[in-house]
Amino acid sequence: MPVFYGTEVGSRLMLGTAQYPSPGILRDAFLRSGAGIATVSLRREGAGDGAGAAFWELIRDMGVPVLPNTAGCHSVREAVTTAHMAREYFGTDWIKLEVVGHEDTLQPDPFGLVEAARILSDDGFRVFPYTTEDGVLGGRLIEAGCEVLMPWGAPIGTGLGLNNIYGLRTLRAQFPDVPMVIDAGLGLPSQAAHAMELGFDAVLLNTAVARAGDPAAMAEGFALALRAGRLAFEADPMEPRDMAAPSTPQLGLAVLS
């Protein structure tokens, strides 16, 4: 199982907690999937009329480790301030760092991301940066103190899967000992299985489960796909080839004359 900042997590599936039709369905999705981490937005938690307190109580009752995030932050200052508020509220040094650089794609701002990661790492945070598959950016984030990388598969909420297989494979190979989580863009369990087959350690998703017709069933489907994909990776799969190769031995076949 993946280890993040010295802590082993009990599942390779990390689930978001937004957009579910009801708290009961959210709870069922976590139970059926066995998800190892719940990501929580401070904005969601801070809803008025007691909704935030009830939501936080639901998450605590599930017994799942919490990874607060800085979703929706567009500047270093905003992300750092939100991270400090999240640490005080949730009582954890873990933070999923998001610094949005493009409104339509929600692509991370690489310059702001590195700056915010350095500030937060220096302040004792355990930073999980939402980044792209750029290897240079990954290196800068590691230099800034990050011990985990969370490259996107595709833009958040699109369900497009793994858009840049070459880039993701290269990033994985460039930093073989760094835990990596595919974060965002997955829409189907098969896409999550592919991420595992490429050697990634976990996936984080929200929309694909929360917006499914049956979120709990979809969450379980992702969990099963992750197990299958990881087993395939660890089994050292065959390399693809251009030419056919017979699976039936040629020796001992009948010879007709």
164 is in an annotated binding site: no
Residues 22 and 36: their CA atoms lie apart, in Å, by 20
Is 69 annotated in a binding site? The answer is no
Cα distance between residue 208 and residue 184, in whole Å: 9
What's the N-to-C CA distance of the chain in angstroms? Answer: 58
For residue 52, give every residue at least 6 positions away whose Cβ sits within 8 Å of its Cβ, in sequence order, or none. Answer: 44, 45, 46
Buried b / exposed e across 80-110, counting CB within 10 Å, b at 16+? bebbeebbebbeeebbbbbbbeeeeebbbbb
| 8 A C-beta contact, residue 164 and residue 186 | no
Spatial distance between the Cα atoms of 135 and 146, rounded to a whole number of angstroms: 14
Active site residue 96: yes
DSSP string computed for 98-149:
--B--TTT--B-HHHHHHHHHHHHHTT-EEEEEE-S-HHHHHHHHHTT-S-B
Query: Does 157 belong to an annotated binding site?
Result: yes
Catalytic one of 12, 44, 96, 194:
96
Active-site residue list: 96
Binding-site positions for 1-deoxy-D-xylulose 5-phosphate = 157, 184-185, 206-207
Binding-site positions = 157, 184-185, 206-207
